[in-house]
Structure 1
Amino acid sequence: MKVLIVKTSSMGDVIHTFPAVEDARRNRPDVSFDWCVEEAFAGIVALHPAIGAIHMVAIRRWRKRLFNSHTWREAKNLRRALRAAKYDLVIDAQGLLKSALVAKQAAVPIAGFDRESAREPSATWFYDHRYAVPRDLHAIERTRRLFGLALGYQPDLSGLQSGIMPPADGLAGTSGKTAFLLHGTSREDKKWPVKDWIETARLLLEKGMTPVVTWSNGPEKAVAEAIAKAVPQAALVPKSPLAVIAAAIGRSALVVGADTGLTHLASAFGLPTVAVFLATEPGLTGPRGPFSSTLLAAPGDKITPAEVMAEAERLLVLSSKAPA
């Protein structure tokens, strides 16, 4: 059986789908999977060994160039590729109108959430098979249940495995016992103060770990350079492709991260991961992993570097006692 997964974005949502793929590998070894995803996250999907072809969609870019002939040519080529693959089933794991429209391009039966379960009920107009999955569950569990219903098995929810492996290539200068500091995030109110990142880097050095910082835009570069200037022993690495950053994160001993997609990735790798949430509720979409923990700031309060380090040390001890 050949199945196409449609989960186009965001990075965290894509990562939340990996445990469902792992369930399917164990319960339906006869099923092969391809994936349709936003071009920016194709490298993340490629981390899972069970994924075959990766079809890239560019909805974010296409919307900005809706009347450009190149946009329509790319969309037409995607439709042609999806139909040529001759899938038996599409699972729309996103439940949005945009993902349903992408799924429809394959011209085969589509499975997805029912009207009460989907994030956008209008998406269900395009589905051939609709399944009820409670909305008050974490996104990972909702997706695992959807896959089980669509493919005819009961997922074992007592465990959580993503199945992804970090790429072989990594960043130069990040060897040894490293702690990756993921300071960058999309909103100002989600950012931990620079002074707290600096203090955390100093505390990590005291514990014999090398802090690692990188950046992807101008504001993140300023923060990374401030940390490296205050803590010269920290490893400041340049802006790098997503796959290279993923490799470096995957080989870290510890990750401390803001509310950002790469923090979800660290959790999915099974790393000791401390997520610092300041303005958003982790709720049903926060990082999940065997050694992942979320520190949530109370209204009007803050999270201190000492609290982060205490939680980091607890997770490091737990992971050291886990079976290999």
Structure 2
Amino acid sequence: MRSILLVKTSSLGDVIHNLPVVSDLRRHWPALAIDWVVEESFAEIPRLHPGVRHVLPVAVRRWRKALTRRDTWHEIGQFQRQLRETCYDLVIDTQGLVKSALITRLADGLRCGYDRTVAREPLAARFYDCHYAIPGTAHAVERNRWLVAAACGYAPDLPLRYGIHANPDAGASPYCVLLTATSRDDKLWPETHWQALGQTLAAQGLRSLLPAGSPRERERATRIASAIPGAETLPPSSLTALAGILAGAQSVVGVDTGLTHLAAALDRPVVALYVATDPGLTGVHAGPRAVNLGGRGQCPAPAEVLNALQALPG
């Protein structure tokens, strides 16, 4: 085995869930060349793993909005040429969507993916040369690992390792990162709960840092921080910079969002909060230092979160 192309384009959490695949492959073949196709907005994540040789950014999300423009088709042509510069031993689509399957089909190599009975979009399976029926009840991280193990012919029994590295932010005092923003309002944890949590953390000598990207997220984070002594709302940052902030945190509390998974992948003590979704298949999955609280129709209380934080290994 000389080279493999992984296709996992989005979203942020899904891309992070695919990182252990690289660690598994490099454990079996230390000299293996591993390339990765990913949406341009998430390209910084595979670059955090030293086992990834080349990251091939794709812009499906942006191209969809500008299909009538000549420069869009020029970019698409450039991407196709870049994709076919290398003949891979295997091209593995761990996403199982039609868009990722089409990208897989364009690449040069034996194309592998989920069987139609388990692919997220069954039509995707028509574009693969080899199909694998991976149990749909397993966590997303394990489904990725089992698919690649089946395609490559090894037992999926290695210890879980995300394998990414980030330079920790050298803060003047210990801090906890509060990830208060997410893509859906029904996934949000109440502002009063965040304030109560932050106030207790402040009394324990921990600063609260609240990353926020969009203006709406910043407004909410600022309201929360205003009631927490010493709390700081952080300006919009790159994923690489955010990884450094998370890597330096004493602990992280976050809602159902990709950055919470990134904190877990960086081996920080993490409490993930779920109020509208079930964490069983897609919650944080990184061993004893990451715990999921809540679930669909549930809302963990601040006291539960504090107890969970205190119980996590340091």
Give the structure-1-normalised TM-score. Answer: 0.92
- 5 Å-filtered alignment, 1:288-303, equals 288-290=285-287, 291-297=289-295, 299=297, 301-303=298-300
Question: Are 1:193 and 2:190 counterparts?
Answer: yes
Q: How far apart in 2 are the matches of 1:46 and 1:8?
A: 14
Question: Which aligned pairs between 1:77-96 and structure 2 lie closer than 5 A?
Answer: 77-96=78-97
Alpha-carbon deviations, 1:87-108, whole Å to 9, x = none?
Answer: 2221111111100101122132
1:143–1:153 CA distance, 2 compared to 1 (3 A)? same
Give SS of 2:131's match: strand
CA contact under 8 A between 1:7 and 1:94: conserved in structure 2?
yes
Q: Is the 8 A contact 1:169 1:244 kept in 2?
A: no
| 2:5 alignment counterpart | 4
Report what 1:127 is aligned to: 128
Distance 2:109 2:23 in 1: 23
Confirm whether residue 246 of structure 1 aligns to residue 243 of structure 2.
yes
Q: Partners in 2 of 1:98 and 1:60 — Cα distance?
A: 10
CA distance in 2, matches of 1:149, 1:297: 31
- Distance between the aligned counterparts of 1:312 and 1:102, measured in 2? 41
* Aligned position for 2:173: 176
Q: Which residue of the other structure, out of 213, 223, 244, is the alignment partner of 1:226?
A: 223
| 1:177-225 C-alpha deviation (Å, 9 max, x unpaired) | 1100000001111111111111111111122211111210112111221
Partners of 1:206 and 1:144 lie apart in 2 by 42
C-alpha distance in 1 between matches for 2:72 and 2:89: 28
Equivalent position of 1:216 in the other structure: 213
CA distance in 1, matches of 2:300, 2:60: 37
AA in 1 matched with 2:290: S
Aligned residues: 312
Q: Partner of 1:164 in structure 2?
A: 164
* Equivalent pair of 2:274/2:299 in contact (CA under 8 Å): no
Partner residue of 1:15? Answer: 16
Residue 298 to residue 112, structure 1, CA distance change in 2 (3 Å): closer
Give deviations 1:36-73, integer Å, cap 9, x for gaps: 00001001111111011111111111111111111111
In structure 2, C-alpha distance between the alignment counterparts of 1:160 and 1:277, rounded to whole Å:
23
Q: In structure 1, give the amino acid aligned to 2:126.
A: W
Structure 2: gaps spanning 5 or more residues: none
Query: How far 1:147 moved relative to its partner?
Result: 1.0
Secondary structure of the structure 1 residue equivalent to 2:109? coil
Task: Report the alpha carbon displacement of residue 28 of structure 1 after superposing the two structures with TM.
Answer: 2.3
Give the drift of 1:271.
Answer: 1.1
Deviations 1:219-266 (A, max 9, x none): 211122112222241133211122111110111110000000000111
Identity %: 44
Residues 209, 232 of structure 2: 8 Å contact kept: yes
CA distance in 2, matches of 1:281, 1:139: 13
Say if 2:107 is the partner of 1:106: yes
Letter in 2 for 1:265: L
Which whole-Å CA distance do the structure 2 matches of 1:48 and 1:239 have between them? 23
Runs of 4+ in structure 1 deviating by more than 6 angstroms, as ranges, are none
Query: CA–CA distance in 2 between the matches of 1:188 and 1:298?
Result: 14
Aligned match of 1:24: 25
Q: What TM-score, normalized by structure 2, do the two folds share?
A: 0.95
* 3-state SS of 1:246 partner: helix
Contact persistence 1:275–1:293 (CA under 8 A): yes
Matched, 1:118 2:119: yes
* Aligned mates of 1:175, 1:142 — CA distance in 2: 40
Equivalent residue, structure 2, for 1:142: 143
Where does residue 269 of structure 2 map in the other structure?
272
Q: Tell me, which stretches of 5 or more residues in structure 1 are unaligned?
A: none
**Structure 2: distance between partners of 1:119 and 1:308:** 33
Residue of structure 1 in register with 2:51 after alignment = 50
Q: Secondary structure at the match of 2:253?
A: strand
Q: Which amino acid aligns with 2:182?
A: T
Aligned counterparts of 1:70 and 1:201: Cα–Cα separation in 2: 48
Do the aligned partners of residues 169 and 307 (structure 1) sit closer, same or farther apart at CA in structure 2, a change above 3 Å counting? closer
Task: Give, in angstroms, the shift of residue 30 of structure 1.
Answer: 3.9
1:84 deviates by: 1.0
The one-letter code matched in structure 2 to 1:11 is: L
Q: CA RMSD in A?
A: 1.5
Residues 180 and 212 of structure 1 are in contact (CA less than 8 Å); yes or no, is this contact kept in structure 2?
yes
Whether the 8 Å CA contact 2:202–2:229 is kept in 1: the answer is no
Asked if structure 1 preserves the Cα contact closer than 8 Å seen for 2:274 and 2:293, the reply is yes
